C-alpha cells in the first residue's frame, strides 16, 4: 500500500515533490503600501458575507519583494535562492468581522506558482503576475541614500497588461509600530470548487492571525494609486481611489501557519 | 449582501476575475507519448490506494502543445490567444480501479498558472514548468514534410533544471484508434490541505471520463525517455525506463467537465 | 596565443558558447500578415535615407510562430527544441531602393535573446517581446477544421503593455504565389553604436535577398490592425492603420545568410 | 528626408523606441564575488590577444542584483521600475594589458534584453540568463541580521540548465576599499560579425575605466564556486576552480560611458 506524502499535490513516496512546502512559512516583505478611500457601495460587493467594510471605506494597494523560508527547509534561501523569493502585489479592503478589525485581500498577484497554489489552499485570492518595485541602491550615482524625497513605485502586470501602480514619495522616518497593522489579522475566503457533483464546493471564511509579526525600517510619505480598469479579465472598479489617506514603506516579517480559525461556511 | 462570483478565487461581483474559467473546457493536444516499462515495486509507491498498477508496469511520458477554449468564452482563442494556450509535460502510470483501466498522471508540468490551479481543484498533480516540443514546419528548408524518419523531442524544465526528455522518431502513419486510449479514463487524486485544524484535509480519488475524445494525425515510432533524477525537489526514481514499449505522435481533443465520479475518500 | 571562436560574443576556444550560431539559418514562419495603408507623411519618417515609401503607403503587421535551424546544427530542432523556436511580431513598410521593391521592418519583436542580437548584427530592429498567435487545433471540440470563417489574432506585448494586435478571418484558400512577396527582398538598416570616441558608429543600409523562399498553406481573409500608442518606450504613430488592404495566413520558409549587399553608409 | 534617432535599433523619429538608452548609464550592484585560482593553461585560451593572465591565474565568479538608471531618464527607477532592474552573473579572469591590471569578463549572463544588446555594442560577452541571489530580509523570522555566519548563494541558469553557483559565508565586515578593484578597469573584446561579404567583421579590444566607482557595505567571507560543465552550449572548462582565494559581498556603483579606449583591432 502506498504512503503518499506531501503538503499537497504532487504527492510522492518521499514527499519532496510537493509544489508547496509544509507550513509554517517564515515570510518577509520589503513593501510599499498606500491606504486610500474607495466608494463604499462599490467596495462592499467584494467582501464575503460576514465581513463589514471599514467605516472610512479604506482600501490598500501594496507591492513588495518577498522572501519565504519554509520551516522544514531552514537553509532554503541559501541552497536554492529562487525557491525562497517572490514578488507580490495586493488590492484589499480593511474590514471587521463581528467588530474585530483585520484586512481582506481581494486580489493578490504573485510571481511564483507555489505561492498561487498555497494561496488557494489558504483562501488567498491569488493569480500569477509580473510585479516590480523600485530598488534604490545607494551606491548608484543616480541615487542618494534613501531618505525624504525618495520616490518608489510598485507595478503589477498580467497577460501583457498593467493592472495597477502604487507610488510613494518618502517624507519621514517613523516608529515601527506607527504603520497600521489592523491587528495583524487577515481574513481569507477559501473557495475550492469541486470536480464532481458528488462533492460540494467549499466556501469558508477564515481568520488568520500572523505570528511573530515584526515591522522595521518604516517610512511615511505621500502616495498614489492608479488602477487600470481596461483589463478585461479583472474586475477592479471597486478599487478606484477617491482619496489617498496614507502611504508607507517598510520591512515586515511574520510566520504563516495552517492555524486559521474557521468563521463561517457558506453553502449554495 | 455580497454575491461573489467565479469558479474559484479571486471571486468578484462580476465573476470575470476568477483565475480559472468555469468548465467545461474544450482541450486539445499536439502530443508525443512514449509508453514504457518501469520497475513495478518502485512504481506502485506512486499510486494512491485503490489503484492497481498495469500488470506490465506501464508508464507514460508525454509532452504536448495544448489549447483550451472555455465553453463560457467560445471566442477565447481568437480574442486573447495567450489565454487559450499552454504546454504540458506528464509522467504517469497505467492502472486499474476495481479492474477498470485508466491512467494516473503522477507529475504534470504546465506552463500556465490557471492550469496549475485548475489541476489542484480537479486532483491533477500540477506544477509550473518550461516545456518545449519540436515544431516541424514543412516550409523550412531544414525539414522535409513530416513523415517516416522525422524526429521530435519534448523537454520539461523547472527551476533551471531539466526534468525529463521524451523522444520519438516516426516510423508509420497509423489509424486514429490505434493509439491506446485506456478507456479515455483518467484517475485523479485530489489532496487539498486545510488552513485550519478545524477543517479536515481532503484526499479523494476520482475517475474522470474524457468527453468527446477524438484522436487524429496519429503516427507510430521508436521512442526514448530520459529522466533526470538529480533534481532535488522532484521524486522521480520510480519513473526510470526499463524498456520502451511504444511511441506515438498524435493530435487529440476532448472536453473536460467537473463531472468526475468520487471513488473513495481517505482520512488520516 | 588564443584563438577565440564564435560567430559573435561570447567567443571561446571551441566556439560553441556563441550566443548566435553561424549562419546560414534555415527559417520558417506560421504567419498572419495584414497589409494596410498608413499616412505617407508620417510613415516616411521611419525609413532610412535611400528607401522610398511604396506609392500606396503600404505597411504590414505580422505575427508568426517561427522555427530556426542553424545549418551548422542540422539536428537542432530535435536535440534541443527550445533553441530552434521563437515567436515574432513585426510592423514594417513596403518600399523601394532605386526602384527595386522590398520591405523594411521598422519594429521587430522576438521572444529569444539570440534572435534579438542576430538582428542587431544584421540590421533588423529587434527587441524582445511576448508574442502569441491563435493556434487552431482541429481535434479540439471548440474548433472546426481551419477554413473560411476561422479567426486568428496575433498579439505583441512588451514590459507589461500590449503593443499591437493583428487579426484575420479567413475567406478563401489561395495559391502559394498569391501572397505578395515584394521580391523576397528585405532592406535592413544596421546601426551599431560605438563604445569609444575613437571608433565611428556604423549606419549601413543593406539589401538581403531571402534564399530558397517557399510559401505554402496560403489563405486570404479580412483583417484588422490595432496599434496601442500609449506605450511610452515605443514610437508607433506612423503605423496607425488608415485602411486595411489585404490579410493573409501562410507558412513560409527561407534561408538567411550573411550575404547582404551594402547599399550605402551614413556618416554623421 | 528622415532623421532617425536612437542610440541603436530600433531607430525612430523621436528616438524613444531604441532598445538601449543613450549612455551614460548609472549602474549599481548588490554583489557576491568569489576570487579563485584556475588552471592557467586552460584559462589563457579565453583571453583575447593582448591580454595577459594574472600571474596567480585568478578568476572570478560574480552574481548581483543590478540597477541601471540612464542619465537621459533620471526618473527611470521611479517611473517604470522594471526598466531599471536586472540580474547579472559573470565568470571572468583577472589580467593585464601591457602591464596595466584589469579584468576580462568572458561570460556574462543578464536577465534583460537591453543589457544583452548594450553588451554586444560595448564588447561585453552577454547572453540572457535566469539569475538569483539569496535575499536576506532581516525582519524574516528565519533570518537574523546580516552578519558573520550569513550565507548567500548566486545561481545562473540558461535554457533550463544550471550554469554556475557562487557561494559566500560572511566572516567579517571590511573597509570599502578592501575589496580588490584591479583599477576599476574593464577590458572588453567587441566582436561584431558582418551581414555582408562587403563589410569586415569587427574585432576590437577596448579598455573601459569605470567612472565614479564607489564600494560600500563590504564583507569578507569564505566562498565556493561550482561550474556545471555538462551544459552543451557553453564552454566553461577553463573556469573550474582549483582553489578559492577570497570571497566578498558588497554594494558597488559606477557610471558606464561610451568612453572606452581602443587598444587593438584584429583582422582575420
Chain D residues contacting B via beta carbons under 8 Å: 130, 155, 157, 159-162
Selecting from C74, C140, C214 the residue whose C-beta is nearest the C-beta of B253 gives: C140
**Whether the predicted pLDDT of B1 surpasses 50:** no
Cβ-Cβ contacts under 8 Å, B71 against chain C: 142
Q: How many CB pairs under 8 A join C and D?
A: 205
The chains in contact with chain D, meaning 3 or more Cβ pairs closer than 8 Å, are A, B, C
Nearest CA in chain C to A130: C160
Using an 8 Å Cβ cutoff, are B119 and B126 in contact? yes
C-alpha distance from D165 to closest chain C C-alpha (Å): 18
Contact between D27 and A140 using a beta-carbon 8 Å cutoff = yes
Residue D229: count of CB within 10 angstroms of its CB: 13
Residues A121, A257: Cα–Cα separation, whole Å: 12
Cis peptide before D209 (omega within 30 of 0): no
C-alpha distance from A187 to closest chain B C-alpha (Å): 12
Mutation to test the A interface, candidates B196, B233, B264, B266, most A Cβ within 10 Å: B196
The chains in contact with chain A, meaning 3 or more Cβ pairs closer than 8 Å, are B, C, D
Contact between C130 and A160 using a beta-carbon 8 Å cutoff = yes
State the DSSP string of D7-55: SSSSPBSSSTT-SSPPSPEEEEEEEEEEEEE--HHHHHTTSPTTEEE-T
**Whether the predicted pLDDT of B268 surpasses 80:** no
The reported pLDDT for the residue numbered C2 is: 57
Contact between A193 and B4 using a beta-carbon 8 Å cutoff = no
> What percent of chain B is predicted at pLDDT more than 90?
91
- Structure confidence by residue, pLDDT tens digits, C102-159: 999 999 999 999 999 999 999 999 999 999 999 999 999 999 899 999 999 999 999 9
Which three cell numbers, joined as nine digits, stand for A10?
Answer: 504532487
- Structure confidence by residue, pLDDT tens digits, A99-152: 999 999 999 999 999 999 999 999 999 999 999 999 999 999 999 899 999 999
Query: Exposed (0-12), middle (13-18) or buried (19+): which is D243, by Cβ within 10 Å?
Result: exposed
pLDDT band at A1 (very low <50, low <70, confident <90, very high): very low
Selecting from B137, B216, B255 the residue whose C-beta is nearest the C-beta of C141 gives: B255
Using an 8 Å Cβ cutoff, are D152 and D135 in contact? no
C-alpha distance from C75 to closest chain B C-alpha (Å): 9
Selecting from A77, A217, A255 the residue whose C-beta is nearest the C-beta of D141 gives: A255
Cβ-Cβ contacts under 8 Å, D124 against chain C: 9
Cβ-Cβ contacts under 8 Å, A162 against chain C: 160-161
Residues C100, C97: Cα–Cα separation, whole Å: 5
Using an 8 Å Cβ cutoff, are A178 and A220 in contact? yes
The chains in contact with chain B, meaning 3 or more Cβ pairs closer than 8 Å, are A, C, D
Cβ-Cβ contacts under 8 Å, B127 against chain A: 10, 19, 113-114
Selecting from A137, A143, A212 the residue whose C-beta is nearest the C-beta of D141 gives: A212
pLDDT band at B230 (very low <50, low <70, confident <90, very high): confident
Q: Is D178 helix (H, G, I), strand (E, B) or coil?
A: helix
Residues C264, C258: Cα–Cα separation, whole Å: 17
The mean pLDDT value for A171-200 works out to 94
C-alpha distance from D223 to closest chain A C-alpha (Å): 13
The alpha carbon torsion through C41, C43, C44, C46 (nearest 10 deg) reads: 140
Taking alpha carbons only, the member of D112, D106, D125 closest to residue D236 is D106
Selecting from B106, B127, B233 the residue whose C-beta is nearest the C-beta of A113 gives: B127
Contact between D162 and B160 using a beta-carbon 8 Å cutoff = yes
Cβ-Cβ contacts under 8 Å, D160 against chain B: 130, 155, 157, 160-162
Nearest CA in chain B to D163: B160
C-alpha distance from D162 to closest chain B C-alpha (Å): 6
> What's chain C's Rg over C-alpha atoms?
19
Contact between A29 and D251 using a beta-carbon 8 Å cutoff = no
Cross-strand pairs, C3: none
Residues A56, B86: Cα–Cα separation, whole Å: 43
> What's chain B's Rg over C-alpha atoms?
19
Tell me B10's DSSP state.
Answer: S
Chain C residues contacting A via beta carbons under 8 Å: 130, 155, 157, 159-162
The mean pLDDT value for C16-40 works out to 97
Nearest CA in chain C to A158: C160
Selecting from C119, C189, C235 the residue whose C-beta is nearest the C-beta of D17 gives: C235
ipTM, 2 dp: 0.96
Cβ-Cβ contacts under 8 Å, D189 against chain C: 4, 9, 11
**Whether the predicted pLDDT of B124 surpasses 90:** yes
Using an 8 Å Cβ cutoff, are A223 and A151 in contact? no
Nearest CA in chain C to D111: C113
Selecting from D135, D151, D251 the residue whose C-beta is nearest the C-beta of A139 gives: D251
Contact between B116 and A119 using a beta-carbon 8 Å cutoff = no
Cβ-Cβ contacts under 8 Å, B81 against chain C: 132-135, 152-155
- Structure confidence by residue, pLDDT tens digits, B86-121: 999 999 999 999 999 999 999 999 999 999 999 999
C-alpha distance from D157 to closest chain B C-alpha (Å): 5
The reported pLDDT for the residue numbered D1 is: 45
The mean pLDDT value for C184-192 works out to 95
Cβ-Cβ contacts under 8 Å, C162 against chain A: 160-161
Q: Across chain B, what does the average pLDDT equal?
A: 95
Rounded to 5 degrees, what are φ and ψ at C185? -105, 130
Cβ-Cβ contacts under 8 Å, C161 against chain A: 157, 160-162
Cβ-Cβ contacts under 8 Å, B83 against chain A: 159, 233
Cβ-Cβ contacts under 8 Å, B204 against chain A: 199
Nearest CA in chain C to A157: C160
The reported pLDDT for the residue numbered A165 is: 98
Residue C73: count of CB within 10 angstroms of its CB: 18
> What percent of chain A is predicted at pLDDT more than 70?
99
C-alpha distance from C46 to closest chain D C-alpha (Å): 6
Mean pLDDT per 10-residue segment, chain D (268 residues): 85 95 97 98 97 98 98 94 97 97 98 98 97 97 94 96 97 94 92 96 95 93 94 91 98 95 90
Using an 8 Å Cβ cutoff, are B163 and B234 in contact? yes
Angle between helices B113-122 and A113-122 (to 10 degrees): 40
The chains in contact with chain C, meaning 3 or more Cβ pairs closer than 8 Å, are A, B, D
Tell me C181's DSSP state.
Answer: -
Q: How many CB pairs under 8 A join B and C?
A: 138
Using an 8 Å Cβ cutoff, are C187 and C95 in contact? yes
Cβ-Cβ contacts under 8 Å, C87 against chain A: none
The reported pLDDT for the residue numbered A268 is: 65
**Whether the predicted pLDDT of B161 surpasses 70:** yes
pLDDT band at C1 (very low <50, low <70, confident <90, very high): very low
Cross-strand pairs, A29: A66, A252
Cβ-Cβ contacts under 8 Å, A81 against chain D: 132-135, 152-155
Selecting from D130, D155, D161 the residue whose C-beta is nearest the C-beta of B162 gives: D161
The reported pLDDT for the residue numbered C210 is: 87
Amino acid at each position: 500500500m502506498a504512503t503518499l506524502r506531501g503538503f499537497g499535490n504532487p504527492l510522492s513516496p518521499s514527499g519532496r515533490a510537493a509544489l508547496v512546502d509544509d507550513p509554517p512559512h517564515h515570510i518577509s516583505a520589503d513593501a510599499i503600501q498606500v491606504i486610500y478611500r474607495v466608494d463604499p457601495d462599490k467596495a462592499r460587493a467584494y467582501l464575503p458575507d460576514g465581513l463589514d467594510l471599514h467605516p472610512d471605506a479604506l482600501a490598500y494597494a501594496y507591492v513588495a519583494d518577498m522572501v519565504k523560508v519554509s520551516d522544514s527547509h531552514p537553509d532554503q534561501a541559501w541552497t536554492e535562492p529562487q525557491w525562497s523569493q517572490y514578488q507580490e502585489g495586493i488590492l484589499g479592503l480593511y474590514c471587521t468581522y463581528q467588530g474585530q478589525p483585520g484586512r481582506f485581500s481581494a486580489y493578490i498577484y504573485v510571481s511564483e506558482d507555489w505561492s498561487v497554489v498555497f494561496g488557494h489552499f489558504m483562501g488567498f485570492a491569488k493569480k500569477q503576475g509580473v510585479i516590480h518595485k523600485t530598488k534604490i541602491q545607494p551606491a548608484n550615482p543616480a541615487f542618494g541614500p534613501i531618505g525624504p524625497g525618495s520616490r518608489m513605485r510598485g507595478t503589477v502586470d498580467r497577460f501583457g497588461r498593467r493592472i495597477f501602480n502604487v507610488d510613494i514619495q518618502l517624507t519621514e522616518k517613523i516608529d515601527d509600530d506607527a504603520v497600521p497593522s489592523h491587528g495583524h489579522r487577515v481574513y481569507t475566503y477559501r473557495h475550492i470548487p469541486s470536480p464532481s457533483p458528488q462533492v460540494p464546493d467549499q466556501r469558508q471564511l477564515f481568520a488568520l492571525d500572523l505570528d511573530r509579526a515584526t515591522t522595521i525600517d518604516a517610512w511615511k510619505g505621500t502616495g498614489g494609486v492608479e488602477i487600470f480598469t481596461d483589463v478585461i479579465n479583472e474586475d477592479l472598479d471597486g478599487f478606484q481611489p477617491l482619496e489617498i489617506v496614507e502611504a508607507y514603506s517598510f520591512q515586515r516579517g511574520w510566520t504563516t501557519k495552517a492555524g486559521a480559525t474557521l468563521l463561517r461556511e457558506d453553502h449554495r
